[in-house]
A and B are shown apart, each in its own frame.
Chain A
Amino acid sequence: AQSVTQPDIHITVSEGASLELRCNYSYGATPYLFWYVQSPGQGLQLLLKYFSGDTLVQGIKGFEAEFKRSQSSFNLRKPSVHWSDAAEYFCAVGAVDTGRRALTFGSGTRLQVQP
Chain B
Amino acid sequence: EADIYQTPRYLVIGTGKKITLECSQTMGHDKMYWYQQDPGMELHLIHYSYGVNSTEKGDLSSESTVSRIRTEHFPLTLESARPSHTSQYLCASSDLTSPTDTQYFGPGTRLTVL
Contacts and interface: CB of A to CB of B under 8 A. Distances in A.
- Chain A's interface size range is 20 to 34
B56 interface: yes
A4 to B, nearest CB: 8
B28 to A, nearest CB: 17
Contacts of A106: 42
A4 B94 CA distance: 20
14 contacts: A42-B107, A43-B90, A43-B105, A45-B105, A46-B104, A51-B99, A90-B42, A94-B101, A100-B56, A101-B31, A101-B101, A103-B45, A103-B103, A107-B42
B105 A44 contact: yes
A34 to B, nearest CB: 7
A100 B58 CA distance: 10
Contact of B48 (A43, A90, A102, A107): A102
Interface in A2-44: 32, 34, 36, 41-44
Counting chain B CB atoms within 10 Å of each CB, which of A36, A88, A102, A107 scores highest? A102
B40 A110 contact: yes
B90 A49 contact: no
A51 B102 CA distance: 10
A32 to B, nearest CB: 5
A42 B101 contact: no
Nearest to A33: B100
